[in-house]
Structure 1
Amino acid sequence: MVMRTLFLAFTLLVLLSACVAAPPTPTPPPLRPTSIQPQPPAQVSPTPLPPQPTTTALPSPTVSPSAAPAASAPDPARLIWRPFASGLERPVDLADLGNGRLLVLEQAGRVRLVINGQVQPAPFLDLRDRVGSQGSEQGLLGIALDPEFDQNGLFYLNYTDRQGNTVVARYMLTPDGQFGDPGSEERLLYVEQPYANHNGGGLVFGPDGYLYIGLGDGGSAGDPQGRAQDPNTLLGKMLRLDVHGARPYAIPADNPFADGQGGRQEIWALGLRNPWRYAFDPVTGDLYIADVGQNRWEEVDYLPAGSPGGANFGWNYREGAHPYKGTPPTDLVLIDPVWEYGHNQGGCSITGGFVYRGQALPELQGVYLFGDYCSGVVWGLWRTPAGTWQALELARTSANISAFGQDRQGELYLLDHRSGTLYRLERP
């Protein structure tokens, strides 16, 4: 009975945080595309800042040229989300250690080890002594393995502490290499959070070897202090750090404010509300960002590989491709989403996924999969050979989709926040 009460309370908090006016309808219609394609970003007016971390030069690109877009729509009848593991508690992220071993983050502060579909009794890492997860959007939120993890055993976590503030930290394995060492924590970032919601939490290494960190606008509703457009705060931004060039990190030389003029040196992109999962296409290097909307529109943002820093995705001047609050400066270029869907179509909170690059489902090559937390619907999104964007509903699940996962073979997984089940995308 207590667990049921907690679950109902948590569900209510999620719905309130997404500002949903009414519960989602059981059968949302297909997504409606935007008519505006991405535009080149513009930088905001400069404001001097004191010097911060050192800068590093851009490494040589590691991605291949853009792959051909999907040629035709996949057939949803040939796809199924099959249960792969169960017994998890509020799972929110996944990483693949290799050799059949997956790490799954539990929001309360544990990292669980799943071996060949079985959740192991002993956690890989337990940080419940320092993680605060009282709010529905607080807790242990993101993980990224170092690009050289197999050699150095380093990994990175993003969590909110017991005061509700964001911590991004680096960890090492225990001497036997079997578990994460809680005593090895080395903090890279500490960001004060004014409210309990919109913490972001994602961590991803880009094809350039740099660590990308997604932070929400600080919470409440409507970004009341305008943080997403303020270059002097890290909130409402995508950050980009060189975690190998210095301790705790260095600033990539081509970050838009790397010289300390005009904004925080760590910033890579601006104008985000609450980026809940983002991913680079491992073949093309293109970046996909799922940004949770306020009360009407959920959006997918896109930056092609090679885009310069300083992209501004519009919040809170715009929600999706629609005016929200205030009038932007005439010289400020805002990048609209490549796809959006309305809350009147049944959803409430977008959950970003991955571009499929596995081998088991060839018809999904180049398709970006994402879903909605409330409706449980999963869509595929791709760019046609003509350059337009197309989306298709691929599945209707009963899950509260908190995250997707991708293993080293490029196969995809789905995390159900409510039931604690891990699903894998397969053939029926």
Structure 2
Amino acid sequence: MRRAGARRARAAVAALAVAAALLAAAGAARAVTWEPADGLALRTVAEGFERPVHVASPPGDRRLFVVEQGGRILLVERGRPRARPFLDLTARVRAGGERGLLSLAFHPRYARNGLFFVNYTDRDGHTRIERYRVSSDPTVADPASGRTILRIEQPFANHNGGHILFGPDGMLWIGMGDGGGGGDPLGHGQNRATLLGAILRIDVDRGDPYAIPPDNPWPRTAGTRPELWAIGARNPWRLAMDPVERLVYVADVGQNRFEEVHVVPLAGGVNLGWNIMEGRACHRAQRCDTAGLDLPPVVYPHGEGCSITGGVVYRGRALPALAGHYLFADYCAGWIRSFRWAGGRVEAARAWRLPRVEAPVSFAVDGDGEVLVVSHAGRILRLEPARR
């Protein structure tokens, strides 16, 4: 799934030259050096899917539920999709390009209440967050149980964001792109009166259909939507939570030059910089005011890729050397990298020597705490220790 409109001209030499000049102009911190690393392997654990974009497991459950962009959620059975979908929203979903059924989040108390949430593009091209309930058969959801929690109008067909997940606080988090059009023509990134170009945080256990958490950054600020947790996002396709360090990792897809990762305390209230900045460079001008902006500690130019795919923080057992490391990929280049955030800086930055993943579109953690990588080409892979 290509997730940028005007990012096709990527001549490596030109991109790196522009990157160096613009980073210098913006006063960027020292660039991260990615050290080649061995010790990991990828193993296919499920295949046979049509444009998968996400995979999730209920809390405390080892089953895998795979989200297909076209509108189906499929339960994995012996490494293949179960014949009967867990939920089929094909008739409600507008799929293609950056649109479709984009993610799934199980309620933290799913084992008791059977509730889960989906993020998809409806037939009118707008974002819907809906709630569903599992049926009496644990392998099938009740399609009649659907209820719209939030509907957000989209002005263009790209930069719809797409990720929903529950945080360690029990709140539902939603990544929203700027609405597309290239360069944020409607100025959503810096507009606090819209839900576009932002990360949202809502309480789906209270209110009708939801409540505003009282500890949101701007719950009662004039001219600001109270759902906002952060502004200034371009297309935060995937978010990651680290409940141990209470951090949120935001992988934000860039425009024509840079891809970026922000590391933000759980309290939020930050401005991620778009459309003033792209990466650590001024977006439209040679000079710009960066006061009050959260500049990303990790940036890479389009000579190294073209569309970032975040990302999970590893807290499993099979790969102890990766404890606390954030893993991410590039959709176009197919590589996987990782780093550890410690003392407010990037440490142990690694570029893993692995076979190229075809169109890595999402990461997840399975019921054992191990890392899954979703290939848009139809496979789910697991990161494992390399055999010696």
User: Is the structural similarity TM-score above 0.5?
Assistant: yes
Q: Is the 8 A contact 1:288 1:300 kept in 2?
A: yes
Tell me if 1:93 matches 2:54: yes
Question: Which of 222, 227, 233 in structure 2 is aligned with 1:266?
Answer: 227
Q: Which residue of 2 aligns with 1:421?
A: 379
CA separation of 1:125/1:224 partners in 2, compared to 1, >3 Å: closer, same or farther?
Answer: same
Q: Which residue of 1 aligns with 2:112?
A: 151
Q: Is the 8 A contact 2:56 2:65 kept in 1?
A: yes
Q: Which residue of 2 aligns with 1:54?
A: none
Shift of 1:178: 2.5
Q: Which residue of 2 aligns with 1:22?
A: 10
Q: Which residue of 1 aligns with 2:90?
A: 128
Q: Which residue of 2 aligns with 1:350?
A: 308
Q: Which residue of 2 aligns with 1:53?
A: none
Question: Which of 300, 304, 321 in structure 1 is aligned with 2:280?
Answer: 321
Cα separation, 2, equivalents of 1:205 and 1:396: 32
- RMSD (Å), alpha carbons: 2.6
Q: Which residue of 2 aligns with 1:58?
A: none
Cα separation, 1, equivalents of 2:223 and 2:101: 32
CA separation of 1:269/1:384 partners in 2, compared to 1, >3 Å: closer, same or farther?
Answer: closer
1:99-156 Cα offsets, whole Å, 9 max, x none, are 541001000000010134232111111000100013x100000111101111111001
Cα separation, 2, equivalents of 1:330 and 1:295: 21
Q: Is the 8 A contact 2:178 2:233 kept in 1?
A: yes
Shift of 1:17: 2.2
1:352-390 Cα offsets, whole Å, 9 max, x none, are 010111101111101100000000010011135684444
Cα separation, 2, equivalents of 1:253 and 1:326: 38
Tell me if 1:300 matches 2:261: yes
Alignment gaps of 5+ in structure 2: none
Cα separation, 2, equivalents of 1:228 and 1:84: 38
Shift of 1:246: 1.6
1:328-370 Cα offsets, whole Å, 9 max, x none, are 996950000010100022x010000101111011111011000
Q: Which residue of 2 aligns with 1:399?
A: 358
Cα separation, 2, equivalents of 1:176 and 1:382: 41
Alignment gaps of 5+ in structure 1: 1-10, 38-72
SS at match of 1:183: strand
Q: Which residue of 2 aligns with 1:310?
A: 269
- When structure 1 is superposed on structure 2, of 279-288 and 235-244 the one drifting more is 279-288
- When structure 1 is superposed on structure 2, of 155-164 and 382-391 the one drifting more is 382-391
Q: Is the 8 A contact 1:100 1:116 kept in 2?
A: no
Cα separation, 2, equivalents of 1:268 and 1:372: 26
Alignment of 1:32-111 (within 5 A): 35-36=28-29, 76-97=37-58, 99-111=61-73
Tell me if 1:119 matches 2:78: no
Tell me if 1:366 matches 2:292: no
SS at match of 2:48: coil
Equivalent residues, number: 372
1:310 partner amino acid: G
1:270-307 Cα offsets, whole Å, 9 max, x none, are 000000101101322211010000000000011124x3
CA separation of 1:391/1:408 partners in 2, compared to 1, >3 Å: closer, same or farther?
Answer: same
CA separation of 1:357/1:24 partners in 2, compared to 1, >3 Å: closer, same or farther?
Answer: farther
CA separation of 1:410/1:74 partners in 2, compared to 1, >3 Å: closer, same or farther?
Answer: farther
Q: Is the 8 A contact 1:174 1:180 kept in 2?
A: yes
Q: Is the 8 A contact 1:318 1:324 kept in 2?
A: yes
Cα separation, 1, equivalents of 2:73 and 2:11: 32
Q: Is the 8 A contact 1:299 1:339 kept in 2?
A: yes
Q: Which residue of 1 aligns with 2:237?
A: 276
Shift of 1:20: 2.6
Question: Which of 299, 302, 306 in structure 2 is aligned with 1:340?
Answer: 299
Question: Which of 194, 200, 206 in structure 1 is aligned with 2:161?
Answer: 200
Q: Is the 8 A contact 1:359 1:411 kept in 2?
A: yes
Q: Is the 8 A contact 1:278 1:289 kept in 2?
A: yes
Shift of 1:327: 9.6
2:296 partner amino acid: P
CA separation of 1:78/1:406 partners in 2, compared to 1, >3 Å: closer, same or farther?
Answer: same
CA separation of 1:247/1:402 partners in 2, compared to 1, >3 Å: closer, same or farther?
Answer: same
1:216 partner amino acid: G
Cα separation, 2, equivalents of 1:274 and 1:386: 24
Q: Which has the higher strand share?
A: 2
- When structure 1 is superposed on structure 2, of 168-177 and 157-166 the one drifting more is 168-177
Shift of 1:256: 2.7
2:168 partner amino acid: P
Alignment of 1:148-297 (within 5 A): 148-297=109-258
Q: Which residue of 2 aligns with 1:50?
A: none
